[in-house]
């Protein structure tokens, strides 16, 4: 069966989401809040094709979504698309439809696409397409504290529902026992201040950062991130018809300012989603990674965080030097795949929150 492809440009997205056609889809290709975020993207252009829809006999059976970003390479600014969100109806899988939509996007985006934050299945598609090469490998870590057994075992495709209450009880007793004996002694000169989002000090500091970041983040980017998240604490019809996350009972960002002898030294940002803490952006000298590791350990214990994910190698190294008080910690990290070469990629600074990671 031949897949009929329909493309939606950014300038058409709002009308499309409000159309009767969209409302009649059994599965929708984008949530309303993600659509609003795409429209607010400071890197977006009206002609960007952000949705690829695949139809068989007028039935939506596959889609792929893309959003724009920019990097500096070889002294020039390059626009490219992040692949973010691909779906195929379970009755139409293994027919090459996802690959076909990816090829369409590859052509339309001038052969400039990137991938990260992927599932194992998506990574296989990336590799099999022979269009992408890994340009960066994150060497981070994942640590577990007040983890719920059902989540941990489901990651490994195990199911032991009858044992969940007992195992959860044992885990909570173990981590609380660890908390009793966790008494770090960070340098008294280093202090932290928690904010809901960056302030003027942070943005002024951001302007002073060296120009070797993989993608330049500025105030416009962070305004977009904080004002147009992809998750809502309110259940909407999107949550039923959209195959990716829309609703979260607990999702927030935290900005942490770092001081040494009362002098502002930088800041970092992490997200919290239903017990999962993910570090996203670091604008603070690496010499404070030890203190930041202690701060995160204390934070996880105080707020009973289930798991911590870090991609920044220097911080991961500090966390893994002494895994206590976590119950378990391991190396963890994904790659960034690109269809085009990025100059001096080994000298670039890659943030934990590249691509769609900070939105999910």
- For range 300-313, the mean pLDDT: 95
What tokens were used for 164?
Answer: 């969940």
The answer on pLDDT for 217 being more than 80 is: yes
- Beta-strand ranges (E) seen in 12-99 are 49-56, 59-73, 76-88
Q: Residues near 169 by Cβ (< 8 Å), separated by ≥ 6?
A: none
Could you tell me the pLDDT band of residue 309, with boundaries at 50, 70 and 90? very high
User: Which class is domain 4-137?
Assistant: alpha beta
Q: What are 114's strand-pairing partners?
A: 82, 338
Q: What is the mean pLDDT of the chain?
A: 90
Question: Using only C-alpha atoms, what is the Rg of the chain?
Answer: 21
Q: pTM higher than 0.85 for the full model?
A: yes
What tokens were used for 191?
Answer: 């202090």
Poorest-pLDDT segment among 41-50, 81-90, 149-158:
149-158
The answer on pLDDT for 242 being more than 90 is: yes
Could you tell me the pLDDT band of residue 103, with boundaries at 50, 70 and 90? very high
pLDDT digits (tens, 9 = 90+) for 250-263: 899 999 999 999 99
Please indicate whether residue 166 or residue 141 has the higher confidence score (pLDDT): 141
The confidence score (pLDDT) of residue 121 equals 87
What tokens were used for 182?
Answer: 């966790």
What tokens were used for 330?
Answer: 């391991």
What tokens were used for 283?
Answer: 């604008």
The answer on pLDDT for 281 being more than 90 is: yes
For residue 318, the SS3 value is helix
The confidence score (pLDDT) of residue 150 equals 55
Same fold, 4-137 and 140-333: yes
- For range 191-210, the mean pLDDT: 95
Domain spans in the chain, listed from the N-terminal domain onward:
4-137, 140-333
pLDDT digits (tens, 9 = 90+) for 170-188: 666 666 666 666 767 667 8
pLDDT digits (tens, 9 = 90+) for 8-55: 999 999 999 999 999 999 999 999 999 999 999 999 999 999 999 999
For residue 54, the SS3 value is strand
Q: Which of the listed CATH numbers 3.30.420, 3.40.630, 3.90.1070, 1.10.3470 matches domain 140-333? A: 3.40.630
CA distances from 275 to 31, 75, 140 (A): 23, 41, 19
The confidence score (pLDDT) of residue 64 equals 98
- For range 89-111, the mean pLDDT: 95
């Amino acid at each position: 069966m031949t897949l009929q492809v329909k493309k939606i440009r950014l300038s058409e997205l709002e009308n499309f989401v409000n159309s009767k056609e969209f409302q009649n889809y059994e599965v929708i290709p984008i949530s309303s809040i993600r659509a609003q975020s795409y429209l607010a993207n400071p890197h977006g252009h009206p002609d960007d094709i952000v949705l690829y829809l695949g139809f068989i006999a007028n039935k939506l059976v596959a889609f792929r979504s893309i959003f724009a970003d920019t990097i500096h390479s070889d002294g020039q600014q390059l626009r490219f698309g992040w692949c973010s969100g691909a779906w195929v109806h379970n009755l139409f899988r293994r027919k090459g439809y996802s690959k076909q939509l990816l090829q369409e996007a590859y052509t339309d985006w001038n052969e400039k696409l990137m991938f990260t934050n992927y599932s194992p299945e998506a990574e296989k598609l990336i590799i099999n397409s022979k269009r992408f090469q890994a340009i960066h490998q994150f060497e981070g870590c994942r640590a577990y504290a007040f983890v719920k057994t059902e989540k941990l075992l489901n990651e490994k495709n195990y199911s032991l529902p009858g044992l969940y209450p007992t195992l959860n009880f044992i885990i909570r007793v173990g981590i609380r026992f660890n908390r009793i004996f966790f008494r770090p002694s960070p340098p008294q000169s280093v202090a932290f201040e928690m904010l809901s989002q960056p302030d003027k000090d942070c943005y002024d500091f951001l302007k002073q950062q060296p120009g070797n970041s993989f993608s330049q983040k500025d105030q416009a980017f962070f305004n977009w991130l904080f004002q147009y998240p992809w998750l809502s604490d309110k259940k909407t019809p999107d949550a039923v018809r959209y195959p990716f996350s829309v609703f979260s009972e607990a999702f927030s960002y935290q900005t942490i300012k770092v001081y040494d002898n009362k002098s502002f030294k930088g800041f970092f940002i992490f997200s919290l989603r239903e017990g999962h803490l993910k570090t996203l952006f670091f604008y603070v000298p690496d010499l404070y990674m030890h203190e930041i590791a202690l701060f995160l350990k204390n934070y996880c214990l105080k707020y009973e965080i289930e798991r911590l994910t870090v991609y920044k190698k220097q911080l991961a190294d500090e966390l893994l030097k002494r895994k206590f008080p976590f119950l378990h910690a391991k190396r963890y990290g994904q790659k960034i795949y690109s269809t085009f070469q990025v100059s001096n990629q080994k000298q670039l600074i890659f943030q934990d929150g590249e691509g769609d990671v900070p939105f999910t």
